[in-house]
Amino acid sequence: MHNFLSGVVPPVVTPMTAQGVIDGPSLCRLVDHIITGGAHGLFALGSSSETVFLTREQRKEVLSIIMDHNAGRVPVIAGVIDTTFPKVRELVEDAVALGVDGLVATAPFYVRTHRKEIEEHFRRIHELAPHIPLYAYNIPICVNGVVLDVDMLIELAGEGVLAGVKDSGGVDSYTRSLVEARNDAGITAFSVLTGSETTVDMAYLAGVDGVVPGLGNVDPAAYAKLHELLVAKNFALAAELQTRINHLFRIVFVGDGTRMGGSSAGLGAFKAALKHLGIIDSAAMAPTHQPLNAEEIAAIAQLVDKYGTPR
């Protein structure tokens, strides 16, 4: 049914209390907000979900809430993000038990790795759950700069090991080369999804199938509309909408870089915006994220009111 993943698949952020407890009701409202906004799928336990800040139990809790509340409305793919295969294996077991529609795995990290090792990593994960689509997650900024090799990805696609790629590498010529290599190989069952919020129109022009936008938590309707325009090949209008979205995206640059890192500023902005919109109850992040201050939160609210899709 959900065989080929395409469209808007936001990485669902994880609402939590100031004490770090998962906030289920807020998470349910967020899931509704995203689906009602027109998203085509949900990416649970992604980087924007603070996955690497959640214990194994918490990850299960979050995924369980999302699966239950989604109740089959859209496909749910789940991150199984950890340093190496033996640890990813545990996460795969948990996700499979909860009935996910797809798995998303990065290259091994922390360790110095190699193409052969990455390839075996994906093969072994696939063997654990051969009937569940597996997506490779290209995110060099998080895994010591490792870029997933295009030839390797296409080889694994051809063998049915991989069902797609989520590309958060930030280099659109890479994304395009992936699409071209897939097409040249005559492979159809392989989704290429961009992780870039600000170049979705460009990525679709190059042939990608969908987008995994963190900002899609805040304004899923804008991305759904963007997808619609792009599928209709209405590129000029899409570019105008993209520009409006990019002004909204500036919320992630509001946080003061002398006081916090990019994760605090970015996730903090998504959560502050969602709180401002009344969707989640608290903008708290897991430790040791640094909080935005009142002035920054006000500036974010202003950008949301100005550039967000009216509700």
Residues tagged in the binding site annotation for pyruvate:
212
- b/e sequence 71-104, b meaning 16+ C-beta within 10 Å: eeebbbbbbbbbeebeebeebbebbbebebbbbb
| Contact stretch for a second copy (CB under 8 A) within 2-10, 72-80, 143-151, 153-161 | 143-151
Binding letters toward a second copy, positions 57-96, x by CB under 8 A:
-x----------------------x-xxxxx--x------
Q: How far is CA 57 from CA 60, 94, 105, 307, in A?
A: 5, 9, 19, 37
Q: How far is the CB of 74 from a second copy (least distance, A)?
A: 27
Size, binding site for a second copy by CB under 8 A = 68
Instruction: Quote the CA–CA distance of 40 and 34 in Å, as a whole number.
Output: 9
Q: How far is the CB of 73 from a second copy (least distance, A)?
A: 30
Binding letters toward a second copy, positions 158-177, x by CB under 8 A:
------------xxxx--xx
Q: Does 19 bind a second copy (CB under 8 A)?
A: no
Q: Does 223 bind a second copy (CB under 8 A)?
A: no
Q: How far is the CB of 137 from a second copy (least distance, A)?
A: 11
Active site residue 137: yes
Active site residue 174: no
Q: Does 113 bind a second copy (CB under 8 A)?
A: yes
Q: Does 114 bind a second copy (CB under 8 A)?
A: yes
Residue in 135, 166, 271, 307 annotated catalytic: 166
Q: Does 141 bind a second copy (CB under 8 A)?
A: yes
Half-sphere exposure of 119 (CA within 13 A, CB side): 13
Contact by Cβ (8 Å): 299, 268 = no
The residue whose two tokens read 């063997």 is 127
Instruction: Quote the CA–CA distance of 8 and 211 in Å, as a whole number.
Output: 5
Q: Which of residues 194-213 bind a second copy (CB under 8 A)?
A: 196, 198-199, 201-203, 205-207
CB nearer a second copy, residue 78 or residue 279: 78
Instruction: Quote the CA–CA distance of 187 and 53 in Å, as a whole number.
Output: 36
Instruction: Quote the CA–CA distance of 46 and 305 in Å, as a whole number.
Output: 27
Contact by Cβ (8 Å): 48, 13 = yes
Q: How far is CA 201 from CA 120, 150, 234, in A?
A: 34, 22, 10
Contact by Cβ (8 Å): 224, 215 = no
Q: Under the rule (CB under 8 A), what is the footprint of a second copy?
A: 20, 47, 52-56, 58, 81, 83-87, 90, 108-114, 116-118, 120-121, 124, 141-145, 170-173, 176-177, 180, 196, 198-199, 201-203, 205-207, 233, 235-236, 239, 243, 246-247, 257, 259-264, 286-290
Active site residues: 137, 166
